[in-house]
Amino acid sequence: MAESDPNVGAGNPAGAGGRCEAISWQELLAQDSRPAPAMLTEESYEYRGSEPLAAERYTSEAFAKLERERMWPYVWQFAAREEDIPEPGDFTVFENAGRSWLISRQDDGSVKAMHNVCLHRGRKLRTEDGAADRFVCPFHGFAWNKDGSFAGMPCSWDFKHLSADKMNLPEAEVGRWGGYIFLREERGGPSLEDYLAPLPEFFKRWRHEECATVIWVAKEVPANWKVTAEAFMEAWHTVVTHPQLLPFTGDANSAYWIYGDNVNVNHVPFGIMSPHVDPAGKTQQWIVDEFCKYNGRSADNYDPSGDPFAVTVPDGMTARAALGAAMRAGYTAQTGYDHDHATDAELLDGLVYNVFPNFAPWGGFMPNIVYRWRPGQTPDTCLMEVRILARVKQGEPMPHGVPMKLLTPEQKWTDAPELGVLGHVFEQDMDNLPYVQEGLHASKTGQVNLGDYQEIRIRQFHQTLDKYLNGTLGKTA
């Protein structure tokens, strides 16, 4: 294993976001094989203070109740992908923060989101995804059409007090972008496009609407949904938690940028050695060889041919440039789309965007990871989901997305072989998260301290959450 020094950059000044002394993200992009777009080079950092967070934000049921009442109903929630429900009548069950929804494709191609609760005695209408023109309650037979309009009931003579126009299923507001389907429980507030900004403009280049879900794995995690999400908002835990990635991951070189209240990004460069690795005796070929062994997004996880893009680095070329060239040609062959304009960064790097509160799509042209975290029955658990999107080959029809594989609590992420080496990386994270949750409960100070730069995304996240809880955003208390 590569030797590492966790104190690289420790001499930088505190406050306002000190930076690692190694090559910066912008300097790295200036060396890219292709001109990088402004969205990848224009810094968007803002110092947001250095105050600690209260540990009870992660442990308190009272705090979770405030989230359910003041935040979740007023935010756009990623509910489904278009390929999950491709045909009229297809529906998927989406549940989050105490609500259950039917996301249903209509005859005209539109999508509706309706409460998945019978208005008679409260039974859930559906517990699994499927296709149906009518939703009939399995308890007493009350029925609704796929658009949520009331279709009838047995023994209607006993319900003269219930008029059909008042028996339609309550609906949520629906928004669609980039192949993603969102809902907002309470109508009003910013449009989906405004809420996501600047994501729609940035992702025009990467066209997630041309992608389909090829892998989807979920598992309950014994930690708060925020604890779990925040583990994927910074790269610098790599030095201790994921040391096998250091030979090809610029963990401390990463850029951390925020946009308004809702959007942030961590640009993590691959194909370069971490500043924590002693470079003595290490070659550019060594970087590539380590990348092909441990990078969870290499093509061997997604391409049926099994080609891992093994690369020989020519003299005078960097590992990043060699990997970029191979992937540029490989993705063009796989997808039928010309990737000649794609930067090395867009083909290699972890361009990890987050949208408040729990939606995290990766940018770039390669198979894209999409995270989602949903709160559990108590503040001490959550459901973590990992989707992998791959571009549908040009000219081929959009396939139906794969169903979600739900691992049992006893299973490990490595029990989902389709994740490849990503499963091992997630298991390394799981070695931390339950003990983070336990530690927050046991904390003597009751405080959590954040870095000014590398954890700015976490601070922005909590400041936005506070705006919902205090009524600045959403519904005024």
Percentage of residues of the chain with pLDDT beyond 70: 93
pLDDT at 476: 54
d(CA 286, CA 402): 36
Residues 198-240: tens digit of each pLDDT = 999 999 999 999 999 999 999 999 999 999 999 999 998 999 9
Does the pLDDT value for residue 9 go beyond 70? no
pLDDT at 299: 42
pLDDT at 460: 98
| Helix pair angle (433-442, 422-430), 10° resolution | 20
Does the pLDDT value for residue 96 go beyond 90? yes
Does the pLDDT value for residue 5 go beyond 70? no
Under the banding of pLDDT at 50, 70 and 90, the label for residue 300 is very low
Under the banding of pLDDT at 50, 70 and 90, the label for residue 297 is low
State the chain's mean pLDDT as an integer: 92
The three-class DSSP label of residue 295 is coil
For 22, phi and psi rounded to 5 degrees?
Answer: -75, 180
For 78, phi and psi rounded to 5 degrees?
Answer: -65, 115
User: What does the pLDDT average to over 63-89?
Assistant: 98
Write the CA distances from 4 to 135, 251, 277, 288, 429, integer angstroms. 58, 12, 5, 19, 19
Q: What are the extents of the domains in the chain?
A: 25-57+208-470, 77-184
- What ranges make up the beta strands (E) of 300-409? 350-355, 359-363, 368-375, 382-391, 405-406
pLDDT top residue among 80 and 299? 80
Under the banding of pLDDT at 50, 70 and 90, the label for residue 6 is very low
pLDDT at 16: 55
Report the b/e string of 202-232 with b at 16+ CB within 10 A.
Answer: bbebbebbbbbbbbbbbbbbbbbbbbbbbbb
Does the pLDDT value for residue 14 go beyond 70? no
Does the pLDDT value for residue 287 go beyond 60? yes
d(CA 192, CA 78): 11
Residues 384-398: tens digit of each pLDDT = 999 999 999 999 999
Residues 407-460: tens digit of each pLDDT = 999 999 999 999 999 999 999 999 999 999 999 999 999 999 999 999 999 999
Q: CB 309: neighbour CB atoms within 10 A?
A: 20
Residues 6+ apart with CB under 8 A from 183: 76, 77, 79, 94, 101, 103, 113, 172, 173, 174, 175
Considering the four listed CATH numbers 1.10.540.10, 3.30.1520.10, 2.102.10.10, 3.90.45.10, the one that applies to the domain covering 77-184 is 2.102.10.10
pLDDT at 309: 58
Residues 307-361: tens digit of each pLDDT = 545 789 999 999 999 999 999 999 999 999 999 999 999 999 999 999 999 999 9
pLDDT at 29: 96
Under the banding of pLDDT at 50, 70 and 90, the label for residue 8 is very low
Q: Which CATH superfamily is domain 25-57+208-470 in?
A: Naphthalene 1,2-dioxygenase Alpha Subunit; Chain A, domain 1 (3.90.380.10)
d(CA 319, CA 324): 8
pLDDT at 296: 58
Does the pLDDT value for residue 10 go beyond 70? no
Write the CA distances from 172 to 63, 186, 242, integer angstroms. 24, 7, 41
Q: CB 412: neighbour CB atoms within 10 A?
A: 14
Q: Give the DSSP letter of residue 279.
A: -
Q: Give the DSSP letter of residue 117.
A: B
